[in-house]
Chain A
Amino acid sequence: MMPDKPKIAFYWCASCGGCEEAVVDLAEEILDVVAAVDIVFWPVALDYKRRDVERMPDGSILATFLNGAIRTSEQEEMAELLRRKSKLLVAFGSCSHLGGIPGLANLFTRDSILQAVYFDAPTTQNPDHILPGSRRNNGQGELTLPYFSERVRALDQVVEVDYYVPGCPPLPKIITRAVATLLSGQLPEKGSVLAPEEGLCSECPRKDSKPERIALKAFKRPQDILIDETQCLLAQGLLCMGPATRAGCEAACIKGNMPCSGCCGAPMRVRDQGAKALSAIASLVDSRDEHEIDQILASIPDPVGTFCRYSLPASLLHSKRNF
């Protein structure tokens, strides 16, 4: 008997593998997921090939959870293929949602990255000048490497995306809730992020310790101070991205006594998380003098890497300007 269980697929592109790990982190709950669905494609765990997906009828997969940003031609082809085969395409995790950590590569040109990795790195030996996009014959057949595109892109900059599951990686609670929502048939509005709408501060266990007004003469890094485990991290001078980050993780990092780094992206109605975070942090500076303001801001070592850590490709400017 062939049960008509909904079909689900998982795939990864430019990512670290943490999102795959997050699925495994569902622990016993993954058994409930497996009982409710057929997993038809999951290269990291199951031996299905691309041609198996190509043979499926279009739209036959209920939902594909795709993690990772898009950088190579192979990733772009797989995103397009899975889009065609799936009723719902879900961008899973920060890289797929916003570009993620790999998206910080958009501060460098493609050519400079290839030059550094394939030629200049002291551990690289590449006498045949092989690069992504190269073809060569090894005597048994022709081998190809995918092309490396100019920019890192979020999934929705390549194909249409139905829903987003935020986080680096998404927490088990967010994943199970998202899967349950999609299986329930009661679908939220297309384009929704499957997490709460408000900012992280709203669910932060330290929110009551946040003073009415915070005024800082310097920003601190976690290794520089002994962090008080009960007080608002912003009030202690740490660069916490909570005010410009979506809730849903239940302040997991803050419970570990580390500031929020912003992985869940912007709350509702914010277009550019980095710009909002910048705005929130700058207004904490306790000075009216331009020179002193600059001195205080100099204690933020890498503004783009701090405010746009996960969202550069999805931000309003997408990347560093190419000269």
Chain B
Amino acid sequence: MPNTRSIPGNGHRSGEVPEPRIVGFFCTWCTYLAADLAGTSRIKYAPNVRVVRVMCSGRIDPQFVLDAFANGADGVLIGGCHPGDCHYQEGNYNCLRRARLLKQVLEQLGIEEDRFRVEWISAAEGDRVRVVINDMVEKLRALGPLQMQRENALVSIAPVEQALQEVCV
């Protein structure tokens, strides 16, 4: 099994910077097996990814990615088969097309590029899982928490007097 245990330090005390949380969508034929291989090979990597296994990277609806961000993910990692290696022939290309457009939308919505990543990792590349995840965790640490404002923040009218003062300065 890939490393899906809970992230230590997540129930952080106030003042502490929480650990980055990554949601990984891994294709069952390649990247999921690579993560499995990393596990059986006892390769150590940062425990910050929650892995969701999907049949194909082409199955990943952009709604999944947005939902992950809306619900507290600091980063989303998609793992699929190398170009030309898709079990369903076209799936990873469709994933790539959607991901390139989604990246533009995320940029317009103020979500930094490093928070959304697509990697092709074959079933044989257990060590690549380690490299990618460690690198992504490091970049997310540098960026800090995403804290996408949620509905609760939306519903309350912000303290207006204070905001007015800021504008008037």
Contacts and interface: CB of A to CB of B under 8 A. Distances in A.
A281 B146 contact: no
A157 interface: yes
Contact of A288 (B65, B70, B83, B168): B83
Interface residues of B, number: 39
Given A131-B164, A133-B164, A318-B149, A283 B66 contact: no
B100 interface: yes
Interface residues of A, number: 54
Contacts of A270: 63
B67 interface: yes
Contacts of A80: none
B168 A297 contact: no
Contacts of A129: 168
Interface stretch (A4-12, A15-23, A300-308): A300-308
Contacts of A279: 61-62, 98
A281 B101 contact: yes
B160 A316 contact: no
A32 interface: no
Interface in A144-179: 147-151, 153, 157-158
Contacts of B154: 150-151, 153, 157, 313, 318-319
Nearest to A118: B167
B101 A278 contact: yes
Contacts, number: 129
Interface string B141-169: 00000101101011101101101101110
Nearest to A281: B101
Contacts of B153: 150
Contacts of A149: 157-158
Contact of A316 (B66, B93, B158): B66
Given A133-B164, A317-B69, A278 B105 contact: yes
B8 interface: no
Interface string B47-70: 000000000000001110111011
Interface stretch (B14-22, B27-35, B107-115, B132-140): B107-115
Given A276-B63, A283-B98, A290-B96, A303 B151 contact: no
B100 A294 contact: yes
A304 B101 contact: no
Interface in A258-305: 270-272, 274-276, 278-279, 281-283, 285, 287-288, 290, 293-294, 297, 300, 302-304
Contacts of A134: 164
A76 B158 CA distance: 13
B104 A297 contact: yes
A321 B62 contact: no
Contact of A323 (B67, B83, B100, B110): B110
9 contacts: A73-B157, A150-B157, A157-B155, A271-B67, A282-B97, A290-B96, A293-B100, A304-B108, A318-B154
Q: What are the nearest 7 A-B pairs in CB distance?
A: A321-B110, A275-B62, A316-B66, A282-B101, A282-B97, A282-B98, A304-B108
Interface of B: 61-63, 65-67, 69-70, 83, 93-94, 96-98, 100-102, 104-105, 108-111, 146, 148-149, 151, 153-155, 157-158, 160-161, 163-164, 166-168
